[in-house]
Chain A
Amino acid sequence: MDSPALLQFLGSLVAILALAWTARWLKLGPQPRLQDEAEARLAADEAVSGYSPVSIALDRDGGGALMRDAAGRLLLLRPHGTHFAGRILAAGASARIDGDALIIDSGERRYGEARLTVPDPQQWARTIDALGTR
């Protein structure tokens, strides 16, 4: 890179950092919340078109959900920025209990883990761990 190009690059870098800082300073990007099962159903259909849960475990604070459809597919919804990102859990997924929370590892490195406080976490953990034995 020649000098003007390098200067342009550094100027742009400063500008993008300033813009991102401004977004933070303005308190943009609130955490998403699932208020109830109806919202969880909607979010599930948005994550996987046509996904229709028969069982929903909604996080106590609305910070995600775990659900199962009639075909036995498990869908994990966890916050990503101001939205939710979902994954159908596969054989690489695992779960463990931490206090009253269920920690779900999607098995997908970049998607990572989710921490949900849900009713009957042991049962969900067993269901997730059983995916590897199918």
Chain B
Amino acid sequence: MPDFSPVDYAVPGFVALVLLEMLWARSKRRDAYEPKDTLTSLAFGLGSTVAGLLTGGAFLALFLWTWQFRLFDVPWAWWAWAACFVLDDLAYYWIHRFGHRVRWFWASHVNHHSSQHYNLSTALRQTWTGFLTLGFAFKLPLVLLGFHPVMIAICGGFNLIYQFWIHTEAIDRMPRWFEAVMNTPSHHRVHHATNPRYLDRNYAGVFIVWDRMFGTFEPESRDEKIRYGIVKQLGSFNLLWSVFHEWIGIAQDMWRAPWGSKLGYLLREPGWTHDGSRETSDMIRAGWMERQAAKGNPVSTENPIAGEAEPA
């Protein structure tokens, strides 16, 4: 059983590339970085590694315990690594989609989105509270299939490393064949955008094909400037508030809500309220589309968001 964490080896590369991107920002886009935002994002990254150290053992133990009930004995063969990487990425897609569509999961994942910047430091803006969600459950089918938990963890590490470089505005588009299959800076900029047309799109980790398959793909438009962050921007660089604000919001909402609606604030999508006083991403998009139509500028029917079979 190998004892190997690919992310540990990648950290010096992360630091070097952030420095390189800062130099690019200095010559091309000074507003691409903001020192306080950078410090907050990187502090998120540091805290998430501590949280991982404190809770990772428990999850590995759970996965190893589950592994005894596996259906097959998947060997440590090259094809098994390839299969594990692809299936782990499929699991990631669904974890990520739930991370945006269920407020309980969003309370953790929002940390990655709460910067109004999109640069390589944003990639390291990782949650401290992932262990409080059920994201790990999406990987249990791989364990039950027979993939060793360590193999899954290593594939997950490489998945995370891949996702680092796509958090940048310094790269415009990759070659067409690459954009068709892989997640890229262009696709992931859409994911981090708060423009109504882009909300809750492009959940992919490594392979964008999952979004194309499951109806959540949205290409980046050259006609619309992207703005990043969350629908209600934090307006604060306070680290602890940035980490816990959505958990606090859930607690406050559940406390104030009538009994029949309390669970909705945990299990429904972000923005849902029992009295309709806030907007979900679907409501924001629907309002925007109405306004576009009223301006005589309807969203193209070729655009997936105008389709009827959009699972969102």
Residues of A within 8 A of B (CB): 1, 5, 8-9, 12-13, 15-17, 19-24, 26-30, 32, 46-47, 49-50, 78, 80-83, 85-87, 108, 110-112
- B53 near A49 with CB under 8 A, answer no
Residues of chain B within 8 A (CB-CB) of A78 are: 235
Q: In the assembled complex, which residues on chain B have CB atoms less than 8 Å from the CB atom of A5?
A: 53
Residue of A16, A24, A85 touching B233 (CB-CB under 8 A):
A85
A-B contact pairs, 26 of them (CB 8 A): A9-B49, A12-B45, A12-B46, A13-B46, A19-B15, A19-B19, A19-B22, A21-B35, A23-B38, A26-B22, A27-B30, A28-B25, A28-B30, A28-B31, A29-B31, A29-B37, A47-B233, A49-B196, A50-B287, A50-B288, A81-B36, A85-B235, A110-B234, A110-B236, A110-B238, A111-B235
Given known contacts A23-B33, A50-B291, A86 and B233 CB-to-CB distance under 8 angstroms: yes
Q: Give 1 or 0 for each of B17-29: 1 = CB within 8 Å of chain A CB.
A: 0110011011000
Q: How far is the CA of A49 from the CA of B199 in the complex (A)?
A: 12
Known A20-B35, A82-B31; 13 more pairs at CB < 8 Å:
A12-B46, A15-B15, A19-B18, A28-B26, A28-B31, A29-B34, A30-B31, A80-B116, A81-B36, A82-B34, A110-B235, A110-B241, A110-B245
A22 adjacent to B236 (CB under 8 Å): no
- The CA of A20 and the CA of B43, in the complex, are separated in Å by 10
Number of interface residues of B (CB under 8 A): 47
In contact, B291 and A30 (Cβ under 8 angstroms) = no
B83 within 8 A of A: no
CA distance A41 to B166 in the complex (A): 31
| Cβ-closest 9 pairs across A and B | A29-B34, A85-B235, A16-B42, A20-B39, A28-B33, A81-B34, A24-B35, A110-B236, A85-B233
How far is B37's CA from A12's CA once the two chains are assembled, in angstroms? Answer: 17
Q: How far is the CB of A46 from chain B (nearest CB, A)?
A: 5
B30 touches A29 (CB 8 A): yes
B237: interface (CB < 8 Å): yes
**A-B interface contact total, Cβ < 8 Å:** 117
With A and B bound together, what is the CA distance between A22 and B36 in angstroms? 11
B274 within 8 A of A: no
Assembly CA distance A86 to B116 (angstroms) = 12
Contacts of A85 in B (CB 8 A): 116, 233-235
- Looking at the complex, which one of B38, B46, B287 makes contact with A49 (CB distance below 8 Å)? B287
CA distance A69 to B221 in the complex (A): 29
Report the Cα distance A17→B231, complex, angstroms: 29
Known contacts A23-B35, A49-B284; is A12 also within 8 Å of B22 by CB? no
Q: Residues of B with Cβ closer than 8 Å to A?
A: 8, 11, 15, 18-19, 22-23, 25-26, 30-39, 42-43, 45-46, 49-50, 53, 116-117, 121, 194, 196, 227, 229, 231, 233-238, 241, 245, 279, 284, 287-288, 291
Q: Tell whether, in the assembled complex, residue A9 and residue B236 are in contact, meaning their CB atoms are under 8 Å apart.
A: no
In the complex, A130→B30 CA distance in Å?
41
**A82 CA to B233 CA, complexed, in Å:** 13
Judging by beta carbons under 8 Å apart, are A19 and B38 in contact?
yes
Contact pick for A83, options B39, B42, B43, B116, CB 8 Å: B116
Contact A16 B43 (CB under 8 A): yes
Q: In whole Å, how far is A29's beta carbon from the nearest beta carbon of chain B?
A: 3
- A28 adjacent to B18 (CB under 8 Å): no
B22 to A22, Cβ gap below 8 A? Answer: yes
A47: chain B residues at CB < 8 Å are: 233
Query: CA–CA, A88 to B221, complex, Å?
Result: 29
**Closest-CB distance, A70 to chain B (whole angstroms):** 14
B49 to chain A, nearest CB (A): 7
Return the chain B residue nearest A84 by Cβ.
Answer: B233
- B45 partner residues in chain A, CB cutoff 8 A: 12, 16
Q: Which residues of A contact B30 (CB under 8 A)?
A: 27-30
Known A16-B42, A49-B287, A110-B241; contact A80-B233, beta-carbon cutoff 8 A: yes
A65 CB to nearest B CB, Å:
15
Task: Let me know if B50 and A9 touch, CB within 8 A.
Answer: yes
The smallest C-beta distance from B163 to any residue of chain A, in angstroms, reads: 19
